[in-house]
Amino acid sequence: MSNQTSFWEKISRIDRRWIFLTIAITVSVPMILGVDFAAVPSPMVEDIFHRIEQLPAGSRVLLSYDYGPSTVPENQPMADALAYHLLKRGCKVYMMAVWATGERQATVTMERVVIPSFPKAVYGDDYIDLGYKAGNTGLMNLLFTNFKRMYTTDRTGKDIESFPMMQQIESLRSFNMIFSISSGQPGLKEWVQFVGDRGKIPTSGGVTAVQATELYPYYPRQMFGLMAGLQGAAEFESMVIEKYPEYAPMRTALRKMAPQTVAHIAIIVLVVLGNIAYFTTRKRGK
Amino acid sequence: MTLMDQVALWVGAALTLMIFSFLYRDNPFYKFAEHLFVGVSAAYWMVTGFWSTLIPNGIGKVWPSLIASVNPQAAATEPNYYFIIPIILGLMMLTRLFGGIGWISRWPMALIIGFSAGTNLTRYLQSDFLAQVHATSVPLIVMANGSFMVVDSFSNFVLVFGVIAALIYFFFSIEHKGAIAGISRGGIWILMITFGAAFGYTVMARISLLIGRFEFLKTWFQSIV
């Protein structure tokens, strides 16, 4: 009995660096082995996929990059898979950013997914990169009434009127659907509050896991779907791959699900061990 | 991979390892990486603010010819002198840097706060209050094609009871005794489950970021061997 107690005492006083090492091993081993775990789509992610599938070709879809490099592992797979799916459906994709750091991430999507996968798609006709504009929710308010007042050029400085796909755009009401991939404020929440609800424009997107619980109350009435963290991104990727298998080599979120799952199991085990150690040592103290 | 890509990879890997070194113990390498990050971030936002706001929305609107070399498109437009007002307000904000006249900055600050409160109030009222009340008004007995839907009814019951119980927990005008105490205790459980879900998501987010860094280090390692 005393040996057992001393074991729990050791556990309760374990150096936190052993825990860091455990997490490092649980993350790196599945990554090195290249194990792939499946992701079963949740209804919230299925709704996004099916709504895009129902969009007629030529629909105008706004894709806002509201994040930066710090949350790329979670957000970039969402943006890449969305852009791919939308272009595959023949939608016109308008990329923009409410975050200054988001502008570069839109370029990443173009270089990784759009240009290699859709060589026949024409810039300015099928997709466009409008770049970043300052103003946060003030910008959203302005775009809601007059889009071209803020966006007079694309990201590279070319006159907006020179692009065929911009001819029909007057305000945010001109879009059939709005997606925001976000990791903070302003982000998807503000797109719902300031644009989606106001103009009854179908709005959805993906957020970091930290933000997810804040967004759940908007589903399904104010937001028709949600990708929550890496899991949400992996679920969406799995649906895209099921319908369009050629996207498989470009998957990034699904590749991260094995280390994610193993790390979660390790954390659960550590939490259980920690609790047993706490209660055992507390009981002994009494 | 170009030479610049290689340099970027090595710098990124070195800084990542320096930050990770804190997990062992605080050290000068970690401090160097931390200070570098803060400095670079501050400079980045300053440059971004200058080129994305001050130049196009300030100088570009009032004196378009001045920015002809950086934005020929904007330089061809007519000046809009209304933009002098925000420029003046911006300069008033900078008076905070001078102790004696620092009080002047309160005026533009008041304008920003007033404008934000005014625009946000209606949106929050609509999206976060009225629409949420509507979303919570769900039937407790769900029927479909004449049959009772057990799962949907239970889900709606949890939603409605959860909202009411959590609200009662924060209702301090009556003493929490008897039935009220029981519902209030249910409210605590609902809140705890919510915090637990939020914590679980936070763990997932942090592990995702760790995986991202490890993948970066893997790319760096593969470039060496």
Q: In this structure, are residues A28 and A259 in contact, taking their beta carbons and an 8 Å threshold?
A: yes
From first to last of its 286 residues, chain A has per-residue pLDDT tens of 555 568 888 888 899 999 999 999 999 999 999 888 889 999 999 999 999 999 999 999 999 999 999 999 999 999 999 999 999 999 999 999 999 999 999 999 999 999 999 999 999 999 999 999 988 999 999 999 999 988 988 998 888 999 999 999 999 999 999 999 999 999 999 999 999 999 999 999 999 999 999 999 999 999 999 999 999 999 999 999 999 999 999 999 999 999 999 999 999 999 999 999 999 888 776 5
- Given B119, B126, B201, which is nearest A212 (Cβ)? B201
CB-based contact B209 A197, cutoff 8 Å = no
Determine the distance in angstroms separating the CA of A21 from the nearest CA of chain B, rounded to an integer.
Answer: 9
| Share above pLDDT 70 across residues of chain A, in percent, rounded to a whole number | 98
Inter-chain residue contact B204 with A70, CB threshold 8 Å: no
Q: How far does A261 lie from chain B, in Å, by closest CA?
A: 9
Contact residues, A window 248-277, toward B, CB-based 8 Å cutoff: 256, 259-260, 263-264, 267
- Residue of A230, A237, A252, A262 best to disrupt the B interface, most CBs of B under 10 A: A230
> In B, what residues contact A, Cβ < 8 A?
23-24, 45, 48-49, 52-53, 57, 71-74, 119-120, 123-124, 126-128, 131-132, 134-135, 194, 197-198, 201-205, 207-212, 214-215, 218
**pLDDT confidence of residue A165:** 96
Helix, coil or strand: residue B111: helix
**φ and ψ of A205, to 5 deg:** 155, -160
Cβ distance A229 to B48 less than 8 Å, yes or no, reads: no
Closest CA to B132 of B163, B157, B156: B163
**Structure tokens, B146:** 């004449």
Q: What are phi and psi of A274, to 5 degrees?
A: -60, -40
Q: What residues of chain A lie within 8 A of the CB of B210, using their CB? A: 23, 27, 263
Contact A260 B204 (CB under 8 A): yes
CA A44 to chain centre: 13
Contact B210 A213 (CB under 8 A): no
CB A47 within 8 A of CB A240: no
pLDDT digits 0-9 by tens, B60-90: 889 888 888 877 777 777 888 999 999 999 9
A56-77 burial code (b ≥16 CB/10 A, e <16): eeebbbbbbbbbbeebbbbbbb
The residue of chain A with its CA nearest to that of B22 is: A17
Rounded to 10 deg, the angle between the B84-93 and B106-124 helix axes is 110
